[in-house]
Every structure is written in structure tokens, then in C-alpha cells.
Amino acid sequence: MNKISKKELKCIRYLTKEMSREDRSVFEIELSLDEGLREIFENYKSVWEHYETEQSIPVSFQEKSFSRKKVLVFSSIAAVGLLIFFSFSWFSTIPKFHEVIAENGQRKTLFLSDSSKVILNAGSSLFFPEEFVDNREVKLIGEGYFEITKDASHPFIVNSKDFKVKVLGTQFSVNNTFSKKEIALREGAVEFIQNTNNDKITLSPGERLIWDTANNQVHKERFNAKVEFAWTTNTLLLDNILFSNAIKDINQFYGVTFVIKNEGLLNQHITGTFKNENLNDFIHSLEFIADVEIEELQDKIFLIKSKQND
């Protein structure tokens, strides 16, 4: 008898409702992402459709012409048919999933089936069900701002590669890019949960959690909401920050690459608010504010240099 694979076992546990609610939600996401897993479901469906059109058990089941091997094979097929019979209705409850992507230099706003609002920052994506069934769970890659509709009986969970955020109803942002892992809470309450050790940290309004994955250190700090959430209103807000740090935000916001030529500019502080400015207008504004010259080297690559240096 062939050994049941892990994927098959997951399917059976899901169909027989042996999974917890959280595991079911994770499985549903895997089902939409894993083509091999979907093929197993399709095979089950095919067996069921075939089983529907055939007689389930022949009347002559006890005839001597049936060898023991044939009986065992037939019994196995019947068992699969019975399993699918009792679980077939669950197939129709598996939600359809969608993925929304905010391209480089763009921000995208969407509303989920529970009326929760999500704003994706440039280069980010959200994976979510068409309709929430048992749990309200989504998967985020990059940075997103969330305004969650309150539902105490159905907590909202944002999943990412290394951690997840559990909320009831609140406004917050999550940034799980490679360079930094951050959660900033505007109002309500959220719970940060590490995937590896299940450690939990609760945030209060006005607090930001920063996880330094290189040193595996987590700390909380206060933050300026006006600056933190400016991008959600299509605004690039630079609040007296080092030019070297500002470049990261500028590149993400406009979906291009700015490179600083002069080392002295790296430690220069810059302040400015750019709301709904296109790239050309921004370049002219930046040249004036920072007293620099900006040269386009090639498509979407720009060099920033001091005016006194040619």
C-alpha cells in the first residue's frame, strides 16, 4: 500500500475538519498558491464525478469470481468515494483568492469583503479571499496600511513570512520588506506574533515595533503618525532626515533609482513635503530644496550631485 503524502494528509485533515481554524486558513492559502495541492483536489473531484456515474457496490459482491485482491481494490475505491461524498460540500466553501499588486511608484487602495480598507505601498502585494469564511486572514508582501472593520468574534490576521499581526478592529501599518520589519499602530490594539517561537508583543496606539532581524532584536518606540502614514495619501514627507535615508523612501515612492554621487551629501539633512507631485516636478523641487543637480543617466536612473561638482 502506497504511503500517503503530506499533501494528501493535509487534504484529508481539511476535509474531515481535523484542522484548527488557523490551520484551515493557512491551508486555503496554500491551496491557492500550490499547483500540486490543487491537482490533488482535482483528482478527488474526478474520482467523485466518476463514482457518481457508476454503481457503488455490485449486487454480486459475494460471488466467488471476485478475488481477494479485487475486493480490496474495489473497497478502496468505495472508501475514497465515501470520503468525497461526505466532504464534497466543503469543496464549494473553499474561497477564491485574489492578489492585488501595487507596482513600483504606485500606491493602491482596495476594500475587503468585510469592508476593511487596505492601502498598499509601492512594490507591495496582498493575497486575500474573495469572501471571508471562518477567519479573516490575508497575506502581505511589502508594506500595507490597514483600517479594519471591528468584529470581536472574528479577529483579523495579517500573515507575512516571519511574523503575523492579530487585530480586532484598528488602524495600523505593516512593513515586512527585507530591510526592515515594522508595525505602526494608529488606533486600537494589535498583537505581534513571531512565527518561529510564537512570542507575542502587544502594541498601544502611537507605538511602533521594529524588529532587527539581523540581530533578532525587537523594540518599541513612539512615532509621528503624520510622517509614518503620509504615503497613504500619496504624499512623500521627508522630516529632517539624512539624505542617505531619504533616498530609500524616494526610490520606493517613485519607482526609480536615485544615486548620490558626493559622499558629503549623505549626511545632509533634508525636509520637504511632496503631495501628488509627478517625477519631473519632484526632481525640480528636490534640486531647489537640497541645492543639488540631478542628471538622468538612463531610463529611471538618476544621479544626484553637488552643484559645485561637475
- 85 forms bridges with which residues in the sheet? none
pLDDT, tens only, 178-193: 667 999 999 999 999 9
Nearest C-alpha neighbor of 299 from the set 120, 105, 123, 121: 105
| Among 16, 18, 31, 22, CA closest to 133 | 22
Give per-residue pLDDT as tens, 41-96: 666 545 444 444 443 434 333 434 444 444 444 445 445 555 554 444 444 555 67
| Angle 50-54-55 from CA coordinates, rounded to 5° | 145
* Alpha carbons 192 and 71: distance in angstroms, whole number: 54
d(CA 42, CA 89) in angstroms, rounded, equals 14
Q: Give me the pLDDT at residue 94, please.
A: 58
Dump pLDDT digits (tens) for 140-181.
999 999 999 988 888 999 998 889 999 977 999 999 886 679
Contact between 40 and 7 (Cβ < 8 Å): yes
> How many CA atoms does the CB half-sphere of 192 hold within 13 Å?
24
- Measured between alpha carbons, how far is residue 1 from residues 42, 72, 76, 119 in Å? 22, 11, 11, 51
Whole-Å CA distances, 75 to 17, 47, 78: 23, 14, 5
Residue 19's pLDDT band, with cuts at 50, 70 and 90, is: low
CB 209 within 8 A of CB 218: yes
* Residue pair 123/139 in contact by the 8 Å Cβ criterion: no
The Cα 22–Cα 11 span in angstroms is 15
**pLDDT per position as a tens digit, 196-250:** 888 899 999 999 999 988 888 889 999 999 999 999 999 999 999 999 989 989 9
Collapsing DSSP states into helix, strand and coil, what is residue 29?
A: helix
Give percent above pLDDT 70 in the chain: 76
Instruction: Report the alpha-carbon distance of residue 71 to residue 279 in Å, rounded.
Output: 73
In CATH terms, the fold of domain 234-306 is: Phage tail protein beta-alpha-beta fold (3.55.50)
pLDDT band at 12 (very low <50, low <70, confident <90, very high): low
For the chain, the domains span: 6-91, 97-227, 234-306
Q: pLDDT-derived band of residue 20, with 50, 70 and 90 as boundaries?
A: confident
Query: What is the domain class of 97-227 according to CATH?
Result: mainly beta
Task: Tell me what pLDDT residue 61 has.
Answer: 37
